[in-house]
Amino acid sequence: MATTAMPVSGTGPGDGRSWFHRNQIAITPWLFLAPGVLFFLFYVIFPVFQSFNISLYAWDGLGEAEFVGLRNYEDLYWEFVDRDAFYTSLKNNILWLLLYLLAIPAGLLIALFLNQTVAGIRIYKSLFFFPFVISQVVVGLVFTWFYDPTFGLLNTIIGWFGLGPISVLGDERYVTYGIIAAGLWPQTAYCMILYLTGLNAVDPEQIEAGRLDGAKGWKMLWYVVIPQLKPATFIAFVVTIIGALRSFDLISIMTQGGPFGSSRVLAFYMFEVALSEYGFRMGYGAAIAVVLFLIMLCFIAYFLWSMYREERGAR
Amino acid sequence: MRSIIKAPLAALAASAVLAGPVSAELTGDLKIFLDTSNPAPRATMEAMIADFQDLHPDLNIETTVIDREEYKTQIRNFLTANPPDVATWYAANRMRPYVDAELFEDVSDLWQEPEIAENLASTKGAMTIDGKQWGVPYTYYQWGVYYRKDIYEELGLEEPNTWDAFKANCQAILDSGRKCFTIGTKFLWTAGGWFDYLNMRTNGFDFHMQLANGEVSWEDDRVKQTFANWQELVDMGAFIDNHQTYSWQEALPFMVNGDAVHYLMGNFAVAPLRDAGLTDDQIDFYQFPAITDGIALAEDAPTDTFHIPANAANKEAAREFLRFVVSADVQTEINNGQNLGQLPVNAQSSVDDDKFLNEGFAMLSSNSPGGVAQFWDRDAPAEMAKASMEGFQEFMVKPENLDRILARLERARQRIYQ
């Protein structure tokens, strides 16, 4: 907070005014922050510790919780060693993290393509942005029909080339890639809009100067344009990583984690064991949530650190 | 329609209630939570509750209908936090988490009353845990093999009574370029139905229940025999391709279009098949044939139930409502073809004149000597049901993984039942 920049009243301490009046300027920001901070503590920080705590118990959510120490984590470890559900979920989570990042270059490409002035460009821009506006549930349904092995468009198309039919969502080798592709569709649109606003802020004088120095094509893009898009890239990176780790709705709509659990990710697996129709293992679900939290923590720490560095650099 | 049958029904129900234990006039609030969210069951339930209201004008009845799938997860919250006086649920092990957590009221006293003790004897076992009864049933339905009669006639086939005839029919159907069975295993439970029948026919009802209760190893040879029988069908290519991507509803068109001939399903599949344009001349039903000689036939007949939460406020009115629901005339009315279209639980009720209901009722009452199971995901504990049905799905797609699947299920069994 830039409290030091505010003019401090001329009178010294002990001039007879109340404590609140004397410290008004220091206190006010905290008063304004208080509701938000309280909600954040109560709904975000407190449940984090609660999850840590529940993960040490065996509890069905209804009866008495039994303290089991680290046994839930031990079970997770054995599931990992046996290449069981937890291994599949973790592996799929990493696939999601890596492949979801393709949304960033794809979004940049489309943004560069659309960053021109022709008649009706606004319509094209909004058409490209459209997938981000529709709900994830609808995206999931559309792609489920698209992939349908009997009447789906995908198999009709590859049938023209004498290939197929393949059942993308029914084959444990392709299913995760199929769902990631569905997720990339709206995510690319999101990155595109971030880059389009970023491109508006690119300094035309620098482009001009680069052009005078003979830069064009890839060199112009790599050395002049992209460095100026750094803030947009950072935000696109953050939202894409978070989107990949939150990948729950598409899996729930498209496959229910199937076939035979091969498209699970940690978030979905947690839901399955703790909260779904057959799930009564709150402690185990909490242990999975803790693992997911630790993975997220790596990224959150990195984001915070680079934002902190940025702010220090700006001063 | 409603008003014509309502008056006599109310009168009959009134006499039924009068014949029962003396009941003081009921007052106060009665909160009822229902999971019957599909249009037809919802209307049935609402009409039934309106009749109950007419009998007890001083009672203030409040009905909440919750989406059937949502209900399965919401029940945990409302039973602990904000319990109604009456709630729907399912029989057998599906009740266990709530019984163990002391969230369902023990209603053994109702089952002592002659009205219920005599007429509902057939479902008493499904409502019993630890020697006590925890609710009352209000409807049940048969499972069995639904098939396209017109295709059977075209190919000159007959309803099979033996496993060999069953497979021979299937081969003839495959040779005609169709698939034998349609199924959609995306939501897993449909594969549980196949396992129920194959295991009960291969090893009998008692073994099936031992397996559901975790008393037998999944790597037992008898379990392997069940899967060997199943594999014969899988290897023939009897099931439609890519069933792991379809829900049970999405698997219906294969049968409607004649691409597949059978559907092993509950009686609730008949209504959508009729809606899709198949007439009763085109669809028919038979009992799943015997596999191992000398094993008594047993059937799946899932039962839907009413319970009183332990923390309910108006238990007196709730008990009266349960008596009302299971009374013979109400049972006849709510289960008829215009309403639920299923089987009444009261022995004094009459079954509606529908070919599938009649056949099913005859099958369950006279040709199911081995016993009546509730369905795999209601007989086995939730976790075991989930893990095993996932295994069944994997087996149907990749039968070569059987040993790994059974080893995994055995590990799950050791953990879940400990």
pLDDT tens string A179-211: 999 999 999 999 999 999 999 888 888 888 888
A278 min Cα distance to partner chain B (Å)? 5
Mutate to test the interface with A, among B242, B395, B408 (most CBs of A within 10 A): B242
- CB contacts < 8 A, A to B, total 74
B72 in reach of chain A (CB within 8 A): yes
Across all residues in chain B, what is the average pLDDT? 89
CB neighbours of B20 closer than 8 A, spacing ≥ 6? B113, B115, B323
Q: How far apart are CA A286 and CA A68, in angstroms?
A: 13
The pLDDT value recorded for residue B14 is 46
A68 in reach of chain B (CB within 8 A): no
High-pLDDT (> 70) share of chain A, %: 94
The pLDDT value recorded for residue A4 is 47
Give residue B340's pLDDT band: very low, low, confident or very high (50, 70, 90).
confident
Q: Which tokens belong to B41?
A: 């069951």
Rg, Å, chain B Cα set: 22
Given a cut of 80, whether residue B12 has pLDDT beyond it is: no
Given a cut of 90, whether residue B322 has pLDDT beyond it is: yes
> Environment class of residue B234 by beta-carbon count within 10 Å: exposed (0-12), middle (13-18) or buried (19+)?
middle
A58 min Cα distance to partner chain B (Å)? 12
Given a cut of 60, whether residue A131 has pLDDT beyond it is: yes
Give residue B166's pLDDT band: very low, low, confident or very high (50, 70, 90).
very high
Mutate to test the interface with B, among A64, A260, A262 (most CBs of B within 10 A): A260
- How is B341-405 classified by DSSP, letter by letter? -SB-SSTTS---S-HHHHHHHHHHHHS-TTEEE--HHHHS-HHHHHHHHHHHHHHHH-GGGHHHH
B248 min Cα distance to partner chain A (Å)? 14
ipTM, two decimals: 0.77
B188 in reach of chain A (CB within 8 A): yes
The pLDDT value recorded for residue B399 is 94
- Cα distances (Å, whole numbers) of residue A61 to A52, A291, B66: 15, 20, 21
DSSP H helical segments within B181-311, as ranges? 189-203, 205-212, 221-236, 252-256, 270-275
Beta-bridge partner residues of B64: B33
Interchain pair A277, B101: CB under 8 A? no
CB neighbours of B157 closer than 8 A, spacing ≥ 6? B169, B172, B173
pLDDT, tens digit, 9 for 90 and up, residues A215-240: 888 888 888 888 889 889 999 999 99
User: For B93, how many CA atoms within 13 A lie in the half-sphere containing its CB?
Assistant: 20
Q: How far apart are CA B384 and CA A275, in angstroms?
A: 15
Residues B87/B80, Cβ–Cβ less than 8 Å:
no
Taking alpha carbons only, the member of B33, B44, B125, B40 closest to residue B72 is: B33
Other beta carbons within 10 Å of A81: 10
- Cα distances (Å, whole numbers) of residue B406 to B203, B215, B296, B403: 17, 15, 26, 5
DSSP code of B314? -
Strand A66-67 to A57-58 pairing: antiparallel
H or E segment at A188? helix A175-200
pLDDT, tens digit, 9 for 90 and up, residues B92-140: 888 988 998 899 999 999 999 998 888 888 888 889 999 999 999 999 9
Residues B181/B166, Cβ–Cβ less than 8 Å:
no
Strand order in the sheet with B59-65: B59-65, B28-34, B86-90, B303-307, B136-140
Mutate to test the interface with B, among A175, A278, A281 (most CBs of B within 10 A): A278
- Domains in chain B and their CATH numbers? 2-140+301-349 (3.40.190.10), 143-300+375-417 (3.40.190.10)
Q: Specify the amino acid at residue B157.
A: L
Strand order in the sheet with B179-181: B179-181, B260-266, B143-148, B283-286
Residues B252/B182, Cβ–Cβ less than 8 Å:
yes
Residues A280/A108, Cβ–Cβ less than 8 Å:
no
Q: How far apart are CA B139 and CA B133, in angstroms?
A: 17
The pLDDT value recorded for residue B243 is 92
Interchain pair B186, A277: CB under 8 A? no
Q: Which residue has the tokens 């369905």?
A: B375
Give residue B375's pLDDT band: very low, low, confident or very high (50, 70, 90).
very high
Residues B136/B119, Cβ–Cβ less than 8 Å:
no
The pLDDT value recorded for residue B122 is 80
- Domains in chain A and their CATH numbers? 78-314 (1.10.3720.10)
- Cα distances (Å, whole numbers) of residue B174 to A54, B26, B246: 53, 62, 21
Phi, psi (deg, nearest 5) at residue A264: -60, 150
> Environment class of residue B277 by beta-carbon count within 10 Å: exposed (0-12), middle (13-18) or buried (19+)?
exposed
Given a cut of 50, whether residue B20 has pLDDT beyond it is: no
Contacts of A75 in chain B (CB under 8 A): 415
- Cα distances (Å, whole numbers) of residue A264 to A85, A90, A269, B384: 8, 9, 6, 18
